[in-house]
């Protein structure tokens, strides 16, 4: 999250990410590992509230099948099963119990 927050830029037309080439490639690689075009399970990308909207906009073209939600949007009765965790410093998605 810190890498994404540092890359946030505010303009008159909205908020966007100014990610470097390495971080952009790492993010796309991790997303491809996590979210196939034809998923077996219904999964969402759960992020902090301040990152939700700009991340959804960033992913809209290639990953429009991936819902992006914030923790604040979860109801009190919601149950979350963590399937993986992203770290732009890692090449592989951290899955299951390791996440």
Cα distances from 1 to residues 20, 22, 48, 90, in angstroms, run 15, 16, 8, 13
- Domain of 59 in residue numbering reads as 1-95
The model's pLDDT over 33-53, given as tens digits with 9 standing for 90+, comes to: 888 777 677 888 999 999 999
Q: What is residue 12's predicted lDDT score, i.e. its pLDDT?
A: 92
Here the CATH number for the domain that contains residue 20 is 3.40.50.12790
Count of domains forming the chain: 1
- Helices (H) and strands (E) counted in the chain, each on its own, are 3, 6
Predicted confidence (pLDDT) per residue in 65-80, tens digit: 889 999 999 888 888 8
What percent of the chain lies above the pLDDT cut of 90? 22
């Amino acid at each position: 999250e810190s890498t994404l927050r540092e890359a946030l830029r505010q303009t008159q037309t909205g908020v966007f990410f100014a990610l470097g080439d390495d971080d952009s490639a790492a993010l796309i690689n991790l997303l491809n590992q996590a979210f196939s075009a034809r998923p077996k399970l219904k999964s969402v990308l759960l992020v902090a509230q301040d990152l939700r909207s700009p991340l959804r906009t960033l992913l809209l073209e290639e990953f429009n099948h991936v819902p992006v939600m914030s923790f604040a949007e979860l109801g009190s009765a919601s149950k979350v099963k963590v399937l993986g965790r992203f770290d732009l410093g890692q090449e592989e998605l951290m899955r299951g119990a390791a996440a």
